[in-house]
Copies of this chain bind each other. A is one copy, B any other.
Amino acid sequence: MVFVQTPATNACTHGFIKATCNDCSLKNLCLPIALDIKDIDRLDKIIQRSRAIHIGDHLYRSGEQFKSIYAVRSGSIKTYLVDDDGVEQVTGFFLPGEVLGFDGISSETHGCNVVALETSSVCEIPFARIEELSLQVSSLQHHIFHLMSQQIDADNKMMLTLSKKNAEGRIATFLVGLSQRFGRRNLSPNAMRLPMSRMDIGNYLGLTIETVSRTFSRLHKENILNVDGREVVIKDHARLNELSHSH
């Protein structure tokens, strides 16, 4: 995305990071291809170097004033919203190279909560500055539209998953999606360490923790996965893909 500035490998070493977007190993994921070097430099200037955040730390909370969007540089991030009566819904997981925070532009106030699943670092960009720069750099404006549209598409797909698929289909869809995102970062799409707990997965997918656990166990027994706690190896992508359409 627009906002990644530094190789993920040295992102957590200290609070403030000097590297530029141009140096960042994630730039192909999060930088608009169309943006030329001159414009990347202008972008660099408005990015606020953010501190590393630790597991359980909130980037922002529902009700706080909307100010910035964030690109994940390293680690992983969870977004969730809380209903009037305290019911929580995990609305997404964000991995390095992905951008979050597009909720709440409309109300000037964040509608969801954002918390680190592990020690992570992010690039923060004040949205007001993005808007200014977007007026001058059309490819940046287009890129923001692009990112928001991607979020909408992803949310719509999630609605289908929640509305139409059974437990097996939801878990399979979730794993296939994660696998693709790992692949995009040039990590193995087969062997993954899940950054989130069973509880988070269940909450996200509208299932109880027990059903998540049982489904993982079943997929393991059927030799589609190897599961050892948060370590997951996909042994049969074809079968998993089939299952992701079940029910």
Contact = CB atoms under 8 A, between A and B. Distances in A.
Interface stretch (A22-30, A37-45, A103-111): A103-111
Contact of A85 (B84, B138, B245): B245
A99 to B, nearest CB: 12
Copies in the complex: 2
A146 B204 CA distance: 25
Interface of A: 81, 83-85, 87, 89, 91, 102-107, 111-112, 131, 134-136, 138, 141-142, 144-153, 155-160, 162-164, 203-206, 245
Contact of A149 (B85, B102, B131, B158): B102
Contacts of A158: 155, 159
Contact of A148 (B138, B142, B152): B152
A152 B102 contact: yes
Contact of A103 (B83, B142, B153): B153
A106 B149 contact: yes
Nearest to A157: B81
B149 A149 contact: no
A151 B151 CA distance: 10
A38 B88 CA distance: 45
